[in-house]
Structure 1
Amino acid sequence: MLDRRHFTLGLTSAAFAGLALNACAPARLGGARSRMRAYGALEPDPAGLLDLPRGFSYRVISRLGDRMDDGFAVPDHADGMGCFALDGRRVALVRNHELAARHIATGPIRPAGPERPETLAAYDHVASGDILPGGTTTLIYDLAAGRVEAQYLSLVGTIRNCAGGTTPWGSWLSCEEDVSRAGAAVRRDHGWIFEVPVNRRGLADPLPLKAMGRFNHEAAAVDPRTGIVYLTEDRDDSLLYRFLPDAKGRLARGGRLQALAMRDVRHGRDSRNWAGDAMPVGGWQAVRWVDLDGTDSPDDDLRLRGHAKGAMRFARGEGIHYGDGALYFCCTSGGAAKLGQIMRYRPSRFEGQPAERDAPGALQLFVESTDPKMFNFGDNLTVAPNGHLIVCEDQYTDTVENHLRGVTPDGRLYTLGRLNLQTELAGACFSPDGSTLFVNIYAPAKTLAITGPWAAFAA
């Protein structure tokens, strides 16, 4: 029933991707306030793919099996993605492919591919000698002409590259959501982050950034002021990490890995709210960061050791995005209803410096879902030109009905799109000029370019 579709959320004055948030007391929004005209009702897609409001349209710009410029095939399981400006009309899209050893047949290098595996700069192989199919592909897209100029393999030999994040210095951080150890199945340890430069055609040097930790990585976001990288972890008992680089923009040179904890221990060490309202919606809580050691974590226990040191637990940290002074990240199964949360972190003005002890950063539970019809398992997220969050759903039910959800700066929710396939939406990101929303369909892999009247939002 409509009057039971509601969210709990809390808002204070803060910047949200260039738009100021209205100062509001924490509130529980019922159906009357949650329902919005937004961009209008969704209209059925004649192609049966993605329903959008009137005036919006999409174009499929890449799909599974397309032959790329390097002779390889577009792989399956398209997941996280980032967009970079190349010039006044062209952008580069770097797209993750969440593939494991069992997916070689739908990877970029098929068993009868054009080149032998040993000729490629790949991170790792399976026992048979085949290259592991996980990695990234890069698309060069002409916004004005609405067409792909080129697409090619840009990272290969990794496992389950789920999400990642863009950097201010022009690269994509591709994150492995897998902690396989070297042995009979694979030759090298996994669970790392790899950096893929945008200005390089072809394969990136598959160098694992080991100082950034070995764990079930999900996504990354960089604060452009400091160069600090914030990392999520897709586990039910995950942590939120930050990486303090020894040299800004030079992640391979190393640095320190830390995990977020509450400054006041009375607030507890669990944000999931599975056993009650341990973390209230809307309240800001001062944080501290605990140093982590043994970050190569051969026993996959980094999160457990971090929690033992006082770090806060989160329910499956997923997409994370930095926008004008704040970071937003999804916790897919957080909340009493286990339908998802969105957290907001406001860094200290002295973030990563000794002075942050006296002026700490703060964490807020921004949104917590109580009804699947409004928000169900938020995953990747981005910020629209009007300052709204755009969130990809990734629910796991017998009948999958995933959406693109919008969250306004004052916390109201609306539906931007509905997927009509039994799979998930992923990798949402906007072109730098704000004209186009790119999004992936996970499997069979497709990448869409969505255009429409983004400025016509109605409350």
Structure 2
Amino acid sequence: MSVTRRSLLAAGGIAFTGALGALFTGRAGAARATRGYGPLLPDPRGLLDLPAGFSYRVLSRAGDPLRSGEGPVPANCDGMAAFAAGDGGGDGDGGDGDGGVRLVRNHENRTTAALRVPAVPGLTYDPAALGGCTVLELDRAGRVTAERVALAGTAVNCAGGRTPWNTWLSCEETEDRAGTSGYTRDHGFVFEVDPADPHRSGAVPLTAMGRFAHEAVAVDPERGVVYETEDAFVQPFGLFYRFLPRRPLGGPGSLRAGGTLEALRVPGVPDLSAVDEIGARFPARWVPVPDPGAASVPVRLQDFGPGGITHAQKLEGCYWGDGGVHFVSSYARGSEGSAADHHGQVWFYDPRSGLLRLDVLFGPATDVQLPGDSPDNICLAPGGGLMVCEDGGGAQYVFGVTRGGEVYPVARNAEDIGAAGAPEWGEFAGVTFSPDGRTLYVNAYTPGTTFAVTGPWH
């Protein structure tokens, strides 16, 4: 049964439809946790509203000078991950290093970006492209000690994912070719970034992982399989992929050795938006992609043989946890060609059973003027539970979800970037926790701002 978000807010909270026990660490059906941290309090600085007892620090702001002297901090802060300072490029063992943290942060710059990622020799793929990644280094006290370019000359770097060997996979959300928009090289690839030493990874496209509008990735730490989402909001909609590396779990640079790219087929389900039953399970089939490089035909338009392939609108967040991969369809709209309407789904694929399961459904009986629509970047909280970045209309929130399925606000973007009389707030992106679980890092996409949030996390 679906309920309206307005009625739930009137009752003092909001909730997803369905049971979420399988999403989180701990046993399914665990007792319902205390909901959240209380109401959000207005920030006197007008940047970030948080619950009582929580505070934030602005780590980086678009337009300020990079500490490296390479130029200004780039705009459009998006996907992000946190690494212990002792880790990177396989030279760590998952420990806390010296207690510091490295944050690797994407910049989703298109050709119109006012603040590009500075082109740095040895780290630049296409000098005409304005996107890429930067790395912030924090000391034990959480103070920024360094900030530098880690990847440049890439385009529309949206999200990505971390590897088991402590590198970051940065994804280009575009299919533009050389000669388009002034680009000198083809785009639509994944790039590996070593936060500890970006020059060690360079700017090498992982072409075997496909050329399409990448959103996010998640790596199976036991099998080495890489799962990838494709963000396409107009028809034909995107696909969900898995990449079988030739050298699984081979460490830094091993993905350059190539492998096999496959796309998800759910027999009898050509569009995931048609599924609205929480807990529904389907056998997953994996079909080889005929031409991963999309030399003449975009991957999602290629001929996958009898049975076709399964599409979904706005495939975005993707993360590994609980023995499988969780991925998000941010929304679906029948008016734009989807089989049905919803305001967000979270799916779970279990590689052990080969089954795909719908775990979370937003709407369609929801009021999109109120918080909670269009989930985007997501991560697991250290103590269990889910953190969700909202990318919808109106106010923009980071939400938490308890093991019992209750949703609560964690942060609200308080900086109004709209015109007079027409308030507007930028989306959140890149939510991630420090290795010790004590600090939440998150980006306000516009204006590009990176926050560190501390407080009495459960």
**TM-score normalised by length of structure 1:** 0.84
Pairing 1:374-453 to 2, within 5 Å after superposition? 374-395=371-392, 397=393, 400-421=394-415, 422-453=425-456
In 2, distance between residues paired with 1:120 and 1:289? 37
- Over the matched positions of the two proteins, sequence identity in percent amounts to 41
Alpha carbons of structure 1 residues 160 and 287: separation in structure 2 relative to 1, 3 Å: same
Maintained 8 Å contact 2:342/2:361: no
Q: Secondary structure at the match of 1:101?
A: coil
Instruction: Describe how 1:7-46 pairs up with structure 2 within 5 A.
Output: 9-11=17-19, 14=22, 16=24, 18-22=25-29, 37-46=35-44
Matches within 5 A, 1:254-269: 254-262=258-266, 265-266=267-268, 268-269=269-270
1:443 positional shift: 1.8
Matches within 5 A, 1:145-184: 145-183=141-179
3-state SS, counterpart of residue 256 of structure 2: helix
Q: Taking structure 1 as reference, are residues 141 and 9 closer, same or farther at Cα in structure 2, changes over 3 Å only?
A: same
- Residue 342 of structure 1 contacts residue 368 of structure 1 at CA under 8 Å; is this kept in 2? no
1:337: Cα distance to partner?
Answer: 4.3
Query: Do the aligned partners of 2:289 and 2:304 also contact (CA within 8 Å) in 1?
Result: no
CA distance in 1, matches of 2:105, 2:432: 11
Note the C-alpha offset of 1:146: 2.0
Q: Distance in 2 between matches of 1:347 and 1:253?
A: 23
**Structure 1 pair 382–15 and aligned structure 2 pair: CA distance change class (3 A):** closer
2:7 corresponds in structure 1 to: 3
1:67 offset after TM fit, Å?
Answer: 2.1
1:107 aligned partner, one-letter code = R
User: How many residues are aligned here?
Assistant: 411
- Amino acid paired to 1:340: G
Inter-partner Cα distance in structure 2 for 1:333 and 1:15: 19
Of 109, 114, 122, which aligns to 2:124?
122
> TM-score when scaled to structure 2?
0.84
CA distance in 1, matches of 2:438, 2:60: 19
Counting only pairs closer than 5 Å after superposition, residues 26-425 of structure 1 correspond to structure 2 as 37-72=35-70, 73-86=72-85, 87-103=97-113, 105-109=114-118, 119-126=121-128, 132-142=129-139, 144-183=140-179, 185-201=182-198, 204-236=201-233, 237-249=237-249, 250-262=254-266, 265-266=267-268, 268-273=269-274, 278-299=275-296, 301-305=298-302, 309-334=307-332, 336-348=340-352, 359-369=353-363, 370-371=365-366, 372=368, 373-395=370-392, 397=393, 400-421=394-415, 422-425=425-428
Match of 2:336 in 1: none
Gaps of 5+ in 1: 25-32, 110-116, 127-131, 349-358
RMSD of aligned residue pairs (Cα, Å):
2.4
Aligned-partner residue type, residue 126 of structure 2: D
- 1:247 is paired with a residue whose SS is coil
Deviations 1:34-77 (A, max 9, x none): x9742111111111111111111110011112222331221000
Aligned residues of 2:68 and 2:146 also touching (Cα < 8 A): no
Paired residue for 1:129? none
**Secondary structure of the structure 1 residue equivalent to 2:302:** helix
Shift of 1:123: 0.5
Distance 1:153 1:169 in 2: 21
